[in-house]
Amino acid sequence: MFRKILLPVDLTARHQQAIEAATDLARQSGGEVTLLHVIEVIPGLAFEEEKPFYQRLEKKALKHLEDLGGRFEKAGVRWRLAILFGARAPEVVRYATETQADLIVLTSPRFDPERPAAGWGSLSHKVGLLAACPVLLVK
């Protein structure tokens, strides 16, 4: 059912459960996972002015995504990577639409009953509201 799975990640190690979910879904469908990292661009500053800075971030992201991709290889799941520049939520939604993703799998913050609105500003909340395709939030 889900053959084109998009898995947006940051550079932390907190995505293990989302990786496992994407791996299982891709394996069941014979699908492919795209690891996506969006590098936030500093508002009001021309990209070209800080090009070396963004190149360092891109190099670090590439290494991280390649390391994560090794998990898919070991599981026999096809994967690819993509690195974009811009605002995270709009870029994830745009990329999902452009690539005709069937599903977006995202790590989501756990619900905190003491602060019920805490996750409303999260990437997972924004993408869940804006995406045209199904979104699986993994906690």
pTM: 0.92
pLDDT of amino acid 49: 86
134 three-state secondary structure: coil
Q: Could you tell me if residue 94 is inside a domain?
A: yes
Classify residue 123: in a domain, yes or no.
yes
Residue at 65: amino acid letter: L
Q: Which helix (H) or strand (E) holds 8?
A: strand 4-8
Task: Say how many domains are in the chain.
Answer: 1
Q: Tell me the CATH number at 57.
A: 3.40.50.620
Specify if 46 maps to a domain.
yes
- Per-residue confidence band for 16, with pLDDT thresholds at 50, 70 and 90: very high
Residue 127 maps to a domain: yes
Digit-coded pLDDT (tens) for 35-65: 999 999 998 888 888 999 999 999 999 999 9
Reported as type and span, the H/E element at residue 33 is strand 32-39
Give me 5's structure tokens: 């799975």
Domain of residue 33: give its range: 8-138
DSSP at 50: G
